[in-house]
């Protein structure tokens, strides 16, 4: 398939006139118009990496996209897959397997490091929160993968993500990227996608680093099953599949493929569970087995959590009595509820918020740290863990889930908040750590507080206010 640069027209005046691309070191364009990114960053949007998933391609492995001989207009975001998004400005379609590329490269021979970003659930690649200009400004080619965010009983969504990695590996050199220097990165549901890519034999040797934000945990942690990284067994999903087809008044997948998209798209809101499946193919083993025997990709990992997420809330509005009942209901064996009460005591309603929040934040930190200890049993690669505690301005939810994204990507310009000089300073440092890791597998660099990899003595790096 011909995906070469002359066949792609870049975004919104950021590319005017396309030079003929020779195999190596050719210019990417003839002239550039200055934009909010400056004159050194080019953006391509909506590039198809696989075929339309409608009709006969529904509930199948991703199929190759058709080639084209004309110029693809890559100035606008592509279609959004059926999901829970409520943005009426987006076009929802099953023809949605496309990605966006931000590149600072001046030639196809630049061989710049590449990062593939998998966004959280209920988001889209068109969200300004995921603008890649700030990362590209650090000399990194930034790609936003677009798919449903939900895997079917056949792990089709997971396979779509892995197809995106393969497409990048095969084509990114035409955009000035190094196909042998790909970092996969994601947040929340995107972090689960990243974890699957890390573990899967289908991507073995294709990725160099992984960044898993909010985040991985020891698989023995009871919360794992309810978080984005949770998965179902094959028996469970086979039963669910039969129930689902019956609910649609059909009996086969072939008949499901004939239904209009409108008959299916509301189901993500109607109680049906769409998640990863232990299929021993895309997902090769239980997490604990992969940790014991080694992931398919033995690579450096950066992972961590936010202060006010995964059960933690800045304001709980619960009483002492409710707090005690919650401890009893959560820790039902042995004397764990009493032990937690001793570690996180309360005597007035005013103290409940602090104690309750501390339990959940500490569980996140400990669960992630315990994962790193298991990882170290089968890997000789470093893991760096962080704890994000900075609350963005203009809101009262603290350091909430996903609140680090704008800082990591250094794209505060894309989100309408009352940013301060401190926020820009934090963003520069966060982006520095992440960019260094993407480039070198190590977040450390000039002007940054040293960040040690996880050991028995060095557990977590406080970032944000830390």
Same domain, 374 and 410: yes
**Top-confidence range, 10-14, 238-242, 342-346:** 342-346
- Given 299, 328, 355, the domain boundary residue is 299
- Position 92 scores a pLDDT of 86
Same domain, 253 and 343: no
For 181-219, give the DSSP string.
EEEEEEETHHHHHHHHHHH-GGGTTT-SEEEEES----T
Lowest average pLDDT, out of 12-21, 72-81, 284-293, goes to 12-21
Same domain, 120 and 66: yes
Same domain, 35 and 23: yes
3-state SS of 274-300 is CCEEECCCCCCCCHHHHHHHCCCCCCC
- Position 132 scores a pLDDT of 64
Could you tell me if 437 and 164 are in contact, meaning their C-beta atoms sit under 8 angstroms apart?
Answer: no
Query: Between vectors from CA 301 to CA 278 and to CA 281, what angle results, nearest 5°?
Result: 20
Share of the chain above pLDDT 90, in %: 44
Q: What is the distance between the alpha carbons of residues 197 and 151, in angstroms, rounded to a whole number?
A: 14
pLDDT in tens, 146-195: 554 444 447 888 999 999 999 999 999 999 999 999 999 999 888 889 99
* 3-state DSSP helix/strand/coil % of the chain, to nearest 5: 35, 15, 50
- Position 150 scores a pLDDT of 41
Q: The domain that contains 76 carries what CATH number?
A: 3.40.50.1820
Lowest average pLDDT, out of 176-185, 218-227, 381-390, goes to 218-227
Q: What is the distance between the alpha carbons of residues 357 and 12, in angstroms, rounded to a whole number?
A: 45
β-bridge pairing 301-306 and 231-233: unpaired
Beta-bridged to residue 46, according to DSSP, are: none
Same domain, 350 and 458: yes
- Given 299, 319, 350, the domain boundary residue is 299
Burial of 311 (0-12, 13-18, 19+ CB in 10 A): middle
The yes-or-no verdict on residue 221 having pLDDT over 90 is no
Residue 454 domain boundaries:
301-466
Same domain, 50 and 103: yes
- Position 35 scores a pLDDT of 43
pLDDT in tens, 429-445: 999 999 999 999 999 99
Could you tell me if 231 and 276 are in contact, meaning their C-beta atoms sit under 8 angstroms apart?
Answer: yes
Q: What is the distance between the alpha carbons of residues 328 and 306, in angstroms, rounded to a whole number?
A: 26
Torsion angle, alpha carbons of 165, 167, 169, 172, to 10: -120
- Given 278, 299, 320, the domain boundary residue is 299
Q: Once rounded to an integer, what is the mean pLDDT over residues 311-321? A: 78
Same domain, 291 and 306: no
- Position 11 scores a pLDDT of 38
Same domain, 258 and 305: no
86 Cα distance to chain centroid: 20
345 Cα distance to chain centroid: 36
- Position 298 scores a pLDDT of 98
- Position 310 scores a pLDDT of 72
For 2-27, give the DSSP string.
---GGGEE-STTS-BS-PPPPSSS-B
Could you tell me if 111 and 208 are in contact, meaning their C-beta atoms sit under 8 angstroms apart?
Answer: no
**Top-confidence range, 197-211, 239-253, 258-272:** 197-211
The yes-or-no verdict on residue 406 having pLDDT over 70 is yes
Q: Once rounded to an integer, what is the mean pLDDT over residues 361-372? A: 87
- Position 171 scores a pLDDT of 94
pLDDT in tens, 38-92: 557 888 999 999 999 999 999 889 999 988 888 888 888 889 888 766 566 778 8
Same domain, 147 and 120: yes
Number of structural domains (the chain) is: 2
Cα distances (angstroms) measured from residue 368 to each of 3, 195, 199, 377: 40, 13, 17, 15
pLDDT averaged over every residue in the chain? 83
Length of the chain: 466
Q: Once rounded to an integer, what is the mean pLDDT over residues 319-343? A: 90
Question: Which tokens is 270 given?
Answer: 């109607």
For residue 143, give the H/E element and its range.
Answer: strand 141-145
Phi and psi at residue 322, in whole multiples of 5°?
-65, -35
Same domain, 202 and 64: yes
Same domain, 331 and 263: no
Same domain, 126 and 200: yes
Question: Which tokens is 20 given?
Answer: 């003929």
């Amino acid at each position: 398939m011909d995906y070469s640069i002359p066949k792609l027209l870049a975004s919104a005046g950021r590319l005017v006139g396309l030079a003929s691309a020779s195999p190596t070191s050719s210019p990417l364009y003839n002239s550039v118009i200055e934009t909010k990114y400056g004159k050194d960053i080019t953006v391509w949007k909506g590039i198809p990496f696989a075929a339309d998933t409608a009709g006969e391609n529904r509930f199948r492995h991703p199929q190759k996209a058709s080639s084209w001989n004309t110029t693809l207009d890559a100035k606008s975001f592509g279609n959004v897959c059926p999901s829970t998004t409520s943005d009426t400005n987006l076009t929802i379609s099953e023809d949605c397997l496309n990605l966006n590329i931000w590149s600072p490269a001046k030639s196809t021979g630049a061989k710049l490091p590449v990062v593939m970003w998998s966004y959280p659930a209920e988001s889209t690649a068109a969200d300004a929160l995921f603008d890649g200009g700030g990362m590209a400004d650090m000399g990194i080619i930034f790609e936003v993968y677009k798919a449903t965010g939900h895997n079917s009983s056949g792990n089709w969504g997971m396979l779509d993500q892995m197809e995106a990695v393969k497409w990048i590996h095969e084509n990114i050199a035409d955009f000035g990227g190094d196909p042998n220097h790909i970092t996969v990165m994601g947040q929340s549901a995107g972090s689960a996608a990243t974890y699957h890519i890390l573990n899967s034999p289908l991507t073995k040797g294709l990725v160099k680093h992984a960044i898993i934000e909010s985040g991985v945990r020891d698989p023995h942690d009871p919360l794992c099953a309810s978080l984005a990284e949770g998965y179902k067994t094959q028996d469970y999903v086979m039963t669910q599949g039969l129930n689902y087809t019956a609910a649609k008044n059909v009996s086969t997948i072939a008949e499901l493929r004939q239904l209009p998209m409108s008959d299916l798209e509301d189901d993500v809101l109607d109680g049906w569970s769409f998640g990863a499946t232990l299929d021993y193919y895309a997902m090769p083993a239980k997490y604990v087995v992969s940790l014991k025997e080694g992931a398919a990709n033995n690579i450096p990992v950066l992972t961590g959590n936010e202060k006010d997420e995964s059960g933690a809330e800045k304001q709980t509005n619960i009483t002492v009595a409710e707090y005690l009942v919650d401890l009893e209901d959560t820790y039902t064996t042995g004397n764990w509820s009493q032990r937690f009460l001793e570690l996180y005591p309360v005597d007035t309603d005013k103290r409940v918020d602090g104690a309750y929040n501390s339990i959940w934040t500490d569980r996140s930190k400990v669960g992630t740290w315990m994962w790193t200890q298991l990882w170290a049993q089968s890997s000789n690669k470093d893991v760096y863990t962080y704890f994000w505690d900075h609350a963005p301005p203009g809101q009262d939810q603290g350091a909430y889930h996903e609140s680090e994204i704008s800082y990591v990507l250094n794209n505060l310009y894309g989100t309408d908040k009352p940013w301060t000089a401190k926020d820009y300073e934090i963003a520069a440092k966060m982006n520095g750590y992440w960019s260094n890791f993407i480039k070198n597998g190590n977040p450390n660099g000039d002007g940054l507080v040293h960040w040690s990899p996880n050991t028995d003595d060095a557990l977590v790096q406080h970032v944000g206010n830390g």
